């Protein structure tokens, strides 16, 4: 499979004009790419930009979703709403959701189940095996093939200190041992253009989840370029 590169813009940038600028630069910079699958997950409010013709092969993802389909859930966004907006992927259980919004494994498990039910692709973020097991409770093995796992060690997220390659590879193997052969496993945490290729080529991940560096079009394009060469 082509490496799957997921840009998580988090709660950035602050204006639509800046979001357009980042998106246009990235779309222009990667329009010739062939060997990498790129997904951008912007804040919901910027999804309108992602309907443009510039989208090309870029896929769109959400950073979160709620498990109920509609109703009295103030402030939430449902999966049917996201489906109407070109969204194919949904990040679930990011460590910032767990930390700042009190998301428990039980809630994350409900979210994964609801994303699968809507036939979207969940990107489940975990820091450890206990989370993985709880977050995948009640999900049958056949469904594992439709899930993407992102190993996101908390110590590496937004710190500039990526996980060491050997440790990351061990963790990847451990995750793999409880999933199906087809389940892609991504690495996330302080990825940049210097270290990106190592996580794919040496540590064996099928892709990357990129935060900070995805907001810098030059750096993001460079990361993708570093994977295209191989």
The catalytic residues are 94, 152
Size of the site for ligand PGA (CB under 6 A): 13
Between CA 139 and CA 57, with CA 93 as vertex, the angle to 5 degrees is: 90
* 193 counts as binding ligand PGA under rule CB under 6 A: no
Instruction: Based on the shown chain and the rule CB under 6 A, indicate whether residue 190 belongs to the binding site for ligand PGA.
Output: yes
Q: Measured between alpha carbons, how far is 7 from 208 in angstroms, rounded to an integer?
A: 8
Within positions 134 to 163, which residues make up the interface with ligand PGA, using CB under 6 A?
152, 157-158
Which residues contact residue 229 at a Cβ distance below 8 angstroms, ignoring those fewer than 6 apart?
Answer: none
Residue nearest to ligand PGA (CB): 211
Nearer to ligand PGA, 147 or 210 (CB): 210
CB of 161 to ligand PGA, least distance (A): 9
216 burial type by CB count under 10 A (0-12 exposed, 13-18 middle, 19+ buried) = middle
Q: Work out how close the CB of 211 gets to ligand PGA at its nearest, in angstroms, rounded to a whole number.
A: 2
Q: Is 189 in the site for ligand PGA (CB under 6 A)?
A: yes
Q: What number of CA atoms fall less than 13 Å from residue 220's CA on the CB side? A: 26
Q: Is 210 one of the binding residues for ligand PGA (CB under 6 A)?
A: yes
Q: Which position among 7, 126, 185, 209 is part of the footprint of ligand PGA (CB under 6 A)?
A: 209
Interacting residues with ligand PGA (CB under 6 A): 8, 152, 157-158, 188-191, 209-213
């Amino acid at each position: 499979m082509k490496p799957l590169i997921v840009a998580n813009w988090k709660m950035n940038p602050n204006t639509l004009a800046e979001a357009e600028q980042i998106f246009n630069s990235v779309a222009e910079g990667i329009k010739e790419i062939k060997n990498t699958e790129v997904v951008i997950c912007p804040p919901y409010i910027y999804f309108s930009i992602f309907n443009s013709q510039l989208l090309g092969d870029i896929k769109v993802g959400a950073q979160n979703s709620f498990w109920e389909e509609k109703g009295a859930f103030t402030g939430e966004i449902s999966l049917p709403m996201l489906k109407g907006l070109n969204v194919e992927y949904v990040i679930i259980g990011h460590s910032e959701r767990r930390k700042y919004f009190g998301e428990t494994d039980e809630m994350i498990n409900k979210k994964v189940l609801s994303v699968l039910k809507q036939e979207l692709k969940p990107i489940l973020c975990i820091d450890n095996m206990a989370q993985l097991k709880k977050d995948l409770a009640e999900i049958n093995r056949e469904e594992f093939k439709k899930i993407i796992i992102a190993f996101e060690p908390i110590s590496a997220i937004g710190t500039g200190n990526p996980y060491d390659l050997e440790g990351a590879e061990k963790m990847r193997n451990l995750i793999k041992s409880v999933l199906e052969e087809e389940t892609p496993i991504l690495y996330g945490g302080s990825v940049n253009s210097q270290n990106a290729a190592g996580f794919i080529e040496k540590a064996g991940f099928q892709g990357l989840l990129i935060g900070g560096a995805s907001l810098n079009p030059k750096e993001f394009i460079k990361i993708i370029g570093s994977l295209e060469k191989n």
